[in-house]
Amino acid sequence: MEALKQGADALFILLGGIMVLAGHAGFAFLEPGAVRQKNQVNALSKFWWIFQCPPWAIS
C-alpha cells in the first residue's frame, strides 16, 4: 500500500510539472502576439530564461 501511495505522489508531482511547463509554453506563444514586433524577441527571451534558470538553481 505504501508503494502505491508513493507512486501516486510521484505521478501527481510529474503531472503538475508538465502542466506548469505547458502553461509557460502557452504564454510564450500568447505574449508575442500582444506586443509590438520589435519587442517579441525580448518577450520570448524572458520565457527562455524562465525555463533555463530553475535547473541552475537546483544544482
Task: Look up residue 25 and give its three cell numbers.
Answer: 509554453
Q: If you average pLDDT over residues 14-40, what whole number do you get?
A: 84
Could you tell me the sign of the dihedral formed by the alpha carbons of 24, 25, 28, 34, in that order? negative
Asked if 8 and 20 touch (Cβ cutoff 8 Å), the reply is no
The yes-or-no verdict on residue 57 having pLDDT over 80 is no
49 to 4, 7, 42, 43, 53: CA distances (angstroms): 36, 31, 11, 10, 6
Could you tell me the sign of the dihedral formed by the alpha carbons of 13, 18, 24, 27, in that order? negative
The residue with greater pLDDT, 8 or 45, is: 8
Residue 20: per-residue pLDDT: 85
Q: If you average pLDDT over residues 5-26, what whole number do you get?
A: 90
The pLDDT-based confidence of 58 (bands split at 50, 70, 90) is low
